[in-house]
Amino acid sequence: MHVLDGKNTVVFSSVDGERVDADPLQRYETGLARLLADARNVEPATAPIPATGFLRKGGTYYLVSAIRMTTYFEVDDKEIDLGTDHVMVFAEALDAEFLPATADGYMLPNLAIIGQPQGLWIARHGFETYGGGEQAFFAWDPDLPGSVLLPKLMLGLGAVFILMLLVARNFVRRAADVAQSLEDARRQAERANRAKSEFVRTVTHEVRTPVNAILGFAQVLQREMFGPLGSPKYAEYADDIVQAGDYMLDLVGDLLDLERIESGKASLSPEVMDANEALASAVSYVEPMATDKGLVLALQPMEGVAEIRSDPRALHQILLNLLSNAVKFTPPGGEVACRTFAKGSDAIAIQVADTGPGLSAAQIEKVLQPFGQIDSAQVDLGKGGKKRGSGLGLPIARRLTEALGGVFDFASILGRGTTVTLILPVDR
Amino acid sequence: MAAPADQTILRLSRPFWLLAGISFLCLVLGATYLMHAQNRTAIQSSQMLFSTVVESRLTRLSELVLEYGYWDEAVDNLVDDVNEE
């Protein structure tokens, strides 16, 4: 505490309550004059107002507050007026008490007064010595929760990312294993398919030769080329041998066809042709059989030329399969209707419909598979004899149609008949 | 050397890796930004607290000097020949 008179002479000084020599105040370096002026700059009639701020003395900053003193008092009942220029100044050294106490009390580590703080994460509070003198800062190391949290967060994220990488790596490996297994299975299936094809080709070729021989010799017997057979039973057996031989040859031919189609080796040569002619030609082949059986075989070609792009031989085989099936399975007195018609602007349909026994949905599925025959699919051979078809006709027809770029539509209602429609692309 | 199936799967999963990488980068950037924001908030709070402390200290000093400005004993001390004790 210091008390100054009107000439700014220190008339009293005390430090921590003890009176000291009255000169330290002279060494306050900045702002002191302004502080004293502000403290005195109050009308004498009004109540004094403290002027407060910071001052620096040497390297130490002080909190200071000054006030014009009220100096009226009485001596021997006489009032003495010392004037209004006396000023009392309180100064508190910041580094002696304020900084340590504040740092401890408010947890502000390394609280200090510095000229210019450097660094991103330094908390600061700027101040100026009284009257716009020197600029200085309180600076301290604040609590940084983000900096504490970030390493943990990064650690967590890194762990999750590494875990994700491991899971993904495991997934890739498993997927690669599965893909490899599928590839191996595909190759194995291809090998098996090639082996099967080779087997079918070999067997059919090997079977065809002796069957032809058997058939030839049976026909020699049937025609009694070298004299009468004697007993009628021999003629009957010769007929049976010929029929069985024909069936075996058909079966071998169908097997070869199916194998060629499935292996993609069917030699198709699409060319522009007339669907009406193809249908009429196929119908002419089955007409005698239909007539013998008492069936009505109706042909309804569309008007004009039904020009399509297809393989004539393959289409003939398809139509023969369909027509022969229709004729075989339609009971006497029934009808087989064949027609062609335009299907939109870019396709022509060839349809074969019969009034046969028809098939259920399950039976349809079955007959469209190779060798998928139903129990009732037996052909009456006359004389009480019956034979089963090879079960390859419809699958061959369907695969050939698809190989020709067409659609094979098989519709049937049990007890009412079957309708097969081939939709083939027109020539463009 | 990776098998062809490995290479195919790695090629197919490339967008996934890219997405995972970008996601991770975004997470890191987001976490850094949050850390920065949290630190700034903590510093601002600390500065506000300190500002209040300083203001409080100055106010207390003003009150003290105002009180002592009327102190008779202080006035007594100004006049040595009247009462110096």
- Chain A residue with CA closest to B37: the answer is A146
Per-residue model confidence as pLDDT tens for chain B (85 residues):
445 666 777 777 788 888 888 988 998 899 889 999 999 999 999 999 999 999 999 999 888 888 777 655 555 555 444 333 4
The 10 Å Cβ neighbour count of residue A321 is 24
**Strands A78-81, A72-75: pairing kind:** antiparallel
A56: helix, coil or strand? strand
Question: Which residues of chain B have a CB within 8 Å of the CB of A108?
Answer: 46, 50
Q: Look up tokens 């019956």; give the residue.
A: A386
- Among A406, A405, A403, A424, smallest CA distance to A266 is for A403
Distance between CA A228 and CA A232 in Å, rounded?
10
Distance between CA A53 and CA B58 in Å, rounded?
7
Residues 18-57 of B with CB under 8 A from A: 20, 24, 27-28, 31-32, 34-39, 42-43, 46-47, 49-51, 53-54, 57
CA distances from B3 to A175, A178, A207, A330 (A): 12, 13, 45, 58
Please tell me the distance in Å from A40's CA to the nearest CA on chain B: 12
A143 → closest Cβ in B24, B37, B46: B46
Asked if residue A359 lies in contact with residue A410, where contact means CB atoms within 8 angstroms, the answer is no
Distance between CA A380 and CA A384 in Å, rounded?
7
Asked if residue A24 lies in contact with residue A97, where contact means CB atoms within 8 angstroms, the answer is no
Distance between CA A270 and CA A181 in Å, rounded?
39
The kind and range of the H/E element at A211 are helix A145-222
Please tell me the distance in Å from B53's CA to the nearest CA on chain A: 8
Q: Quick check: A123 and B43 CB within 8 A?
A: yes
Taking 70 as the threshold, does the pLDDT of residue A25 lie above it?
A: no
Taking 70 as the threshold, does the pLDDT of residue A306 lie above it?
A: yes
B34 → closest Cβ in A53, A88, A146: A146
Q: What is the pTM of this model?
A: 0.51
Please write the tens of the pLDDT for every residue from A393-418.
888 899 999 988 899 999 999 888 99
Alpha helices in A300-391 (DSSP H): 312-329, 361-367
The 10 Å Cβ neighbour count of residue B62 is 19
Helix, strand and coil in chain B, % to nearest 5: 85, 0, 15
The 10 Å Cβ neighbour count of residue A233 is 9
Distance between CA A130 and CA A55 in Å, rounded?
6
Question: Which residues of chain B have a CB within 8 Å of the CB of A176?
Answer: 3, 5-6, 9
Please write the tens of the pLDDT for every residue from A60-87.
888 889 888 766 555 566 665 655 677 8
Residue-level pLDDT at A411: 92
- Chain A residue with CA closest to B75: the answer is A71
Please write the tens of the pLDDT for every residue from A166-206.
888 888 888 888 888 998 999 999 999 888 888 888 888 88
Residue-level pLDDT at B76: 56
Asked if residue A381 lies in contact with residue A371, where contact means CB atoms within 8 angstroms, the answer is no
Burial of A94-125, coded b for 16+ CB within 10 Å and e otherwise, reads beeebbeebeeeeebeebebeeeeeeeeebbb
B47 → closest Cβ in A1, A64, A123: A123
The kind and range of the H/E element at A60 are strand A60-68
Chain A interface mutation, best of B8, B23, B49, B50, highest count of A Cβ atoms under 10 Å? B50
Question: Which residues of chain B have a CB within 8 Å of the CB of A84?
Answer: none
What DSSP designation does A426 have? B
Alpha helices in A271-379 (DSSP H): 275-293, 312-329, 361-367
What DSSP designation does A380 have? E
Q: How many A×B Cβ pairs under 8 Å?
A: 147
Answer yes or no: is the ipTM higher than 0.90: no
In sequence order, the β-bridge partners of residue A408 are A422
Q: Quick check: A75 and B17 CB within 8 A?
A: no
Residues above pLDDT 90, as percent of chain A: 23
The 10 Å Cβ neighbour count of residue A32 is 25
Please tell me the distance in Å from B85's CA to the nearest CA on chain A: 11
Q: Quick check: B32 and A1 CB within 8 A?
A: no
Alpha helices in A62-107 (DSSP H): 99-105
- Among A274, A297, A296, smallest CA distance to A350 is for A274
